[in-house]
Amino acid sequence: MFEYPENLTYPFGNYISDIVDWLTVHWSGFFDGISSGLLWMLLHLNDFLTWVPWWYFILTVFLLAWQYKSVSSGILYTLFLLLICTFGLWDMTMFTLTMVMASVLISVIIGIPLGIVMALNKRFEILIKPVLDAMQTMPTFVYLIPGIFFFGLGLVPGVISTIIYALPPIIRLTNLGIRGVPKEMVEAGLSFGSTKWQLLKKLQLPQALPTIMLGVNQTTMMALAMVVVASMVGVEGLGLEVLTALNQIDVAKGFEAGISIVFIAIIIDRLTLAISERH
Protein backbone atom coordinates (compact mmCIF):
# COMPACT_ATOMS: atom_id res chain seq x y z
CA MET A 1 0.00 0.00 0.00
CA PHE A 2 2.87 2.39 0.75
CA GLU A 3 5.19 1.48 -2.13
CA TYR A 4 4.67 2.00 -5.86
CA PRO A 5 4.07 -1.36 -7.61
CA GLU A 6 7.15 -2.53 -9.46
CA ASN A 7 5.11 -4.09 -12.28
CA LEU A 8 3.79 -0.61 -13.17
CA THR A 9 7.25 0.84 -13.90
CA TYR A 10 8.43 1.20 -17.49
CA PRO A 11 11.97 1.97 -18.70
CA PHE A 12 11.28 4.88 -21.07
CA GLY A 13 14.98 5.74 -20.91
CA ASN A 14 15.73 2.71 -23.07
CA TYR A 15 14.02 4.40 -26.01
CA ILE A 16 16.25 7.45 -25.59
CA SER A 17 19.29 5.20 -25.50
CA ASP A 18 18.16 3.45 -28.70
CA ILE A 19 17.65 6.81 -30.45
CA VAL A 20 21.11 8.00 -29.41
CA ASP A 21 22.69 4.76 -30.63
CA TRP A 22 20.85 5.05 -33.97
CA LEU A 23 21.95 8.65 -34.44
CA THR A 24 25.54 7.80 -33.51
CA VAL A 25 25.67 5.07 -36.18
CA HIS A 26 23.65 6.63 -39.03
CA TRP A 27 24.50 10.32 -38.56
CA SER A 28 28.19 9.93 -37.74
CA GLY A 29 29.22 11.83 -40.89
CA PHE A 30 26.99 14.77 -39.94
CA PHE A 31 28.41 14.98 -36.41
CA ASP A 32 31.97 14.58 -37.69
CA GLY A 33 31.39 17.47 -40.09
CA ILE A 34 30.09 19.72 -37.30
CA SER A 35 33.02 18.70 -35.10
CA SER A 36 35.61 19.42 -37.79
CA GLY A 37 34.14 22.80 -38.74
CA LEU A 38 33.73 23.91 -35.14
CA LEU A 39 37.21 22.75 -34.18
CA TRP A 40 38.70 24.63 -37.15
CA MET A 41 36.98 27.84 -36.05
CA LEU A 42 37.99 27.40 -32.41
CA LEU A 43 41.65 26.71 -33.17
CA HIS A 44 41.94 29.71 -35.50
CA LEU A 45 40.20 31.98 -33.00
CA ASN A 46 42.50 30.78 -30.22
CA ASP A 47 45.56 31.26 -32.45
CA PHE A 48 44.47 34.85 -33.09
CA LEU A 49 43.85 35.64 -29.42
CA THR A 50 47.21 34.18 -28.37
CA TRP A 51 48.92 36.00 -31.27
CA VAL A 52 47.66 39.40 -30.06
CA PRO A 53 50.25 40.84 -27.62
CA TRP A 54 49.02 40.94 -24.04
CA TRP A 55 49.65 44.68 -23.71
CA TYR A 56 47.69 45.41 -26.90
CA PHE A 57 44.72 43.39 -25.62
CA ILE A 58 44.79 45.25 -22.29
CA LEU A 59 45.12 48.61 -24.08
CA THR A 60 42.09 47.79 -26.24
CA VAL A 61 40.00 46.96 -23.16
CA PHE A 62 41.13 50.21 -21.51
CA LEU A 63 40.17 52.29 -24.55
CA LEU A 64 36.77 50.57 -24.85
CA ALA A 65 36.06 51.21 -21.17
CA TRP A 66 37.20 54.82 -21.51
CA GLN A 67 34.99 55.34 -24.56
CA TYR A 68 31.83 53.69 -23.26
CA LYS A 69 32.11 54.04 -19.46
CA SER A 70 34.83 56.11 -17.77
CA VAL A 71 38.57 56.43 -17.28
CA SER A 72 38.29 54.94 -13.79
CA SER A 73 36.57 51.86 -15.23
CA GLY A 74 39.33 51.51 -17.80
CA ILE A 75 41.98 51.66 -15.07
CA LEU A 76 40.10 49.10 -12.97
CA TYR A 77 39.75 46.64 -15.88
CA THR A 78 43.42 47.14 -16.73
CA LEU A 79 44.36 46.19 -13.16
CA PHE A 80 42.15 43.10 -13.38
CA LEU A 81 43.90 41.93 -16.56
CA LEU A 82 47.35 42.71 -15.16
CA LEU A 83 46.53 40.57 -12.12
CA ILE A 84 45.64 37.69 -14.44
CA CYS A 85 49.04 38.16 -16.10
CA THR A 86 50.81 38.06 -12.74
CA PHE A 87 49.02 34.79 -11.93
CA GLY A 88 50.57 33.30 -15.08
CA LEU A 89 47.13 32.48 -16.49
CA TRP A 90 47.09 34.65 -19.60
CA ASP A 91 47.14 31.79 -22.13
CA MET A 92 44.50 29.92 -20.12
CA THR A 93 42.35 33.06 -20.12
CA MET A 94 42.64 33.39 -23.90
CA PHE A 95 41.58 29.75 -24.28
CA THR A 96 38.57 30.38 -22.06
CA LEU A 97 37.69 33.49 -24.08
CA THR A 98 37.91 31.39 -27.23
CA MET A 99 35.27 28.99 -25.92
CA VAL A 100 33.03 31.77 -24.61
CA MET A 101 33.25 33.91 -27.78
CA ALA A 102 32.56 30.97 -30.09
CA SER A 103 29.64 29.78 -27.94
CA VAL A 104 28.10 33.24 -27.75
CA LEU A 105 28.54 33.86 -31.48
CA ILE A 106 26.81 30.59 -32.42
CA SER A 107 24.11 31.15 -29.79
CA VAL A 108 23.38 34.61 -31.24
CA ILE A 109 23.26 33.26 -34.81
CA ILE A 110 20.76 30.59 -33.74
CA GLY A 111 18.91 32.50 -31.02
CA ILE A 112 18.00 35.80 -32.68
CA PRO A 113 16.18 34.20 -35.66
CA LEU A 114 14.33 31.84 -33.30
CA GLY A 115 13.36 34.80 -31.10
CA ILE A 116 12.06 36.67 -34.15
CA VAL A 117 9.97 33.67 -35.20
CA MET A 118 8.63 33.40 -31.63
CA ALA A 119 7.59 37.05 -31.68
CA LEU A 120 5.84 36.76 -35.05
CA ASN A 121 4.26 33.31 -34.62
CA LYS A 122 2.14 32.63 -31.53
CA ARG A 123 1.94 28.87 -32.18
CA PHE A 124 5.71 28.58 -32.42
CA GLU A 125 6.05 30.50 -29.15
CA ILE A 126 3.66 28.12 -27.39
CA LEU A 127 5.62 25.16 -28.78
CA ILE A 128 9.12 26.36 -27.90
CA LYS A 129 8.49 27.90 -24.46
CA PRO A 130 8.38 24.52 -22.63
CA VAL A 131 11.62 23.56 -24.39
CA LEU A 132 13.30 26.76 -23.18
CA ASP A 133 11.94 26.18 -19.66
CA ALA A 134 13.45 22.68 -19.66
CA MET A 135 16.79 23.98 -20.98
CA GLN A 136 17.01 26.58 -18.20
CA THR A 137 15.99 24.29 -15.33
CA MET A 138 17.96 21.18 -16.26
CA PRO A 139 21.16 20.61 -14.22
CA THR A 140 24.22 21.90 -16.04
CA PHE A 141 26.00 18.53 -15.95
CA VAL A 142 23.22 16.99 -18.07
CA TYR A 143 24.27 19.17 -21.02
CA LEU A 144 27.56 17.29 -21.19
CA ILE A 145 25.85 13.97 -21.98
CA PRO A 146 24.79 14.63 -25.63
CA GLY A 147 28.11 16.32 -26.30
CA ILE A 148 30.06 13.28 -25.11
CA PHE A 149 27.86 10.81 -27.00
CA PHE A 150 28.01 12.59 -30.35
CA PHE A 151 31.37 14.41 -30.23
CA GLY A 152 33.55 12.52 -27.74
CA LEU A 153 35.83 14.43 -25.36
CA GLY A 154 37.59 17.74 -25.86
CA LEU A 155 36.81 21.31 -26.82
CA VAL A 156 33.95 20.63 -29.26
CA PRO A 157 31.57 18.86 -26.81
CA GLY A 158 32.34 21.57 -24.25
CA VAL A 159 31.31 24.29 -26.71
CA ILE A 160 28.20 22.36 -27.81
CA SER A 161 27.11 21.95 -24.18
CA THR A 162 27.76 25.64 -23.52
CA ILE A 163 25.67 26.66 -26.55
CA ILE A 164 22.71 24.56 -25.36
CA TYR A 165 22.98 26.05 -21.86
CA ALA A 166 23.44 29.68 -22.99
CA LEU A 167 20.86 29.74 -25.81
CA PRO A 168 17.55 30.43 -23.95
CA PRO A 169 18.24 34.04 -22.80
CA ILE A 170 18.94 35.39 -26.28
CA ILE A 171 15.82 33.67 -27.66
CA ARG A 172 13.56 34.89 -24.86
CA LEU A 173 14.84 38.48 -24.83
CA THR A 174 14.72 38.80 -28.62
CA ASN A 175 11.09 37.69 -28.47
CA LEU A 176 10.41 40.07 -25.57
CA GLY A 177 12.09 43.00 -27.31
CA ILE A 178 10.14 42.65 -30.54
CA ARG A 179 6.84 42.11 -28.73
CA GLY A 180 7.61 45.19 -26.62
CA VAL A 181 7.61 47.52 -29.63
CA PRO A 182 4.56 49.83 -29.20
CA LYS A 183 1.60 48.78 -31.30
CA GLU A 184 1.09 52.37 -32.42
CA MET A 185 4.51 52.38 -34.09
CA VAL A 186 3.81 49.07 -35.82
CA GLU A 187 0.42 50.31 -37.03
CA ALA A 188 2.02 53.53 -38.28
CA GLY A 189 4.59 51.52 -40.24
CA LEU A 190 1.86 49.36 -41.80
CA SER A 191 -0.20 52.42 -42.70
CA PHE A 192 2.75 53.79 -44.68
CA GLY A 193 2.82 50.61 -46.75
CA SER A 194 5.74 48.79 -45.13
CA THR A 195 6.03 45.09 -45.79
CA LYS A 196 6.54 42.69 -42.89
CA TRP A 197 10.25 42.42 -43.73
CA GLN A 198 10.65 46.23 -43.90
CA LEU A 199 8.74 46.58 -40.64
CA LEU A 200 11.01 44.05 -38.95
CA LYS A 201 14.25 45.43 -40.38
CA LYS A 202 13.64 49.17 -40.02
CA LEU A 203 11.35 49.39 -36.99
CA GLN A 204 11.03 46.36 -34.76
CA LEU A 205 14.67 45.23 -34.63
CA PRO A 206 16.10 48.76 -34.04
CA GLN A 207 13.54 49.36 -31.28
CA ALA A 208 14.23 45.96 -29.72
CA LEU A 209 18.03 46.29 -29.95
CA PRO A 210 18.63 47.27 -26.27
CA THR A 211 16.67 44.23 -25.11
CA ILE A 212 18.44 41.97 -27.63
CA MET A 213 21.82 43.26 -26.42
CA LEU A 214 20.76 42.46 -22.86
CA GLY A 215 20.09 38.93 -24.12
CA VAL A 216 23.59 38.79 -25.60
CA ASN A 217 24.96 39.92 -22.24
CA GLN A 218 23.04 37.23 -20.35
CA THR A 219 24.08 34.58 -22.87
CA THR A 220 27.71 35.59 -22.36
CA MET A 221 27.39 35.33 -18.58
CA MET A 222 25.82 31.88 -18.85
CA ALA A 223 28.58 30.76 -21.20
CA LEU A 224 31.15 31.85 -18.61
CA ALA A 225 29.20 29.94 -15.96
CA MET A 226 29.77 26.74 -17.97
CA VAL A 227 33.56 27.14 -18.05
CA VAL A 228 34.23 24.91 -15.03
CA VAL A 229 31.55 22.35 -15.97
CA ALA A 230 32.91 22.06 -19.53
CA SER A 231 36.37 21.29 -18.16
CA MET A 232 34.99 17.90 -17.07
CA VAL A 233 34.99 16.77 -20.71
CA GLY A 234 38.57 17.89 -21.30
CA VAL A 235 38.18 21.59 -22.17
CA GLU A 236 41.32 23.48 -21.22
CA GLY A 237 41.40 26.98 -19.79
CA LEU A 238 40.58 28.55 -16.45
CA GLY A 239 37.85 26.01 -15.75
CA LEU A 240 40.34 23.15 -15.95
CA GLU A 241 42.61 25.04 -13.56
CA VAL A 242 39.75 25.29 -11.06
CA LEU A 243 38.92 21.59 -11.47
CA THR A 244 42.56 20.58 -11.06
CA ALA A 245 42.88 22.75 -7.95
CA LEU A 246 39.75 21.12 -6.53
CA ASN A 247 41.15 17.63 -7.12
CA GLN A 248 44.49 18.58 -5.59
CA ILE A 249 42.92 20.66 -2.79
CA ASP A 250 45.16 23.53 -3.90
CA VAL A 251 43.54 26.64 -2.42
CA ALA A 252 45.98 29.12 -3.98
CA LYS A 253 45.63 27.73 -7.49
CA GLY A 254 41.85 27.53 -7.19
CA PHE A 255 41.65 31.11 -5.93
CA GLU A 256 43.78 32.50 -8.76
CA ALA A 257 41.83 30.68 -11.48
CA GLY A 258 38.47 31.42 -9.87
CA ILE A 259 39.12 35.14 -9.38
CA SER A 260 40.40 35.33 -12.97
CA ILE A 261 37.02 34.02 -14.19
CA VAL A 262 35.32 36.64 -12.02
CA PHE A 263 37.50 39.41 -13.49
CA ILE A 264 36.69 38.35 -17.05
CA ALA A 265 32.98 38.12 -16.22
CA ILE A 266 32.95 41.63 -14.72
CA ILE A 267 34.78 43.14 -17.71
CA ILE A 268 32.53 41.46 -20.31
CA ASP A 269 29.35 42.24 -18.36
CA ARG A 270 30.10 45.93 -17.85
CA LEU A 271 31.43 46.56 -21.36
CA THR A 272 28.59 44.80 -23.20
CA LEU A 273 25.97 46.61 -21.11
CA ALA A 274 27.68 49.97 -21.63
CA ILE A 275 27.93 49.43 -25.40
CA SER A 276 24.28 48.34 -25.64
CA GLU A 277 23.09 51.38 -23.63
CA ARG A 278 25.11 53.74 -25.81
CA HIS A 279 23.59 52.33 -29.01
Contact 163, 103 (CB under 8 A): yes
Which tens digit of pLDDT belongs to each residue from 61-112?
A: 999 999 988 899 999 999 999 999 999 899 999 989 998 889 899 999 999 9
In this predicted structure, what is the pLDDT of residue 51?
92
The distance from CA 48 to its chain's CA centroid, rounded to whole angstroms, is 20
Tell me the C-alpha distance between 139 and 161, whole Å.
Answer: 12
In this predicted structure, what is the pLDDT of residue 232?
77
Q: How many CB atoms lie within 10 A of CB 118?
A: 23
Q: How far is CA 115 from CA 13, 27, 129, 182, 279, in A?
A: 31, 28, 11, 18, 20
Tell me the C-alpha distance between 169 and 173, whole Å.
Answer: 6
In this predicted structure, what is the pLDDT of residue 63?
93
Can you give the C-alpha Rg of the chain in angstroms? 22
- What SS3 state is found at 201? helix
Superfamily of domain 13-278: MetI-like (1.10.3720.10)
Q: Is 239 exposed, middle or buried (0-12, 13-18, 19+ CB in 10 A)?
A: buried
Helix pair 251-278, 54-68: axis angle to 10 deg: 40
pTM of the model: 0.86
In this predicted structure, what is the pLDDT of residue 13?
65
Residues of the chain under the 70 pLDDT cut? 1-2, 10-13, 278-279
Pick from 196, 216, 192, 213: nearest CA to 204 = 196
Q: Where are the domains of the chain?
A: 13-278
Contact 253, 259 (CB under 8 A): no
Which tens digit of pLDDT belongs to each residue from 147-157?
A: 777 777 778 88
In this predicted structure, what is the pLDDT of residue 1?
60
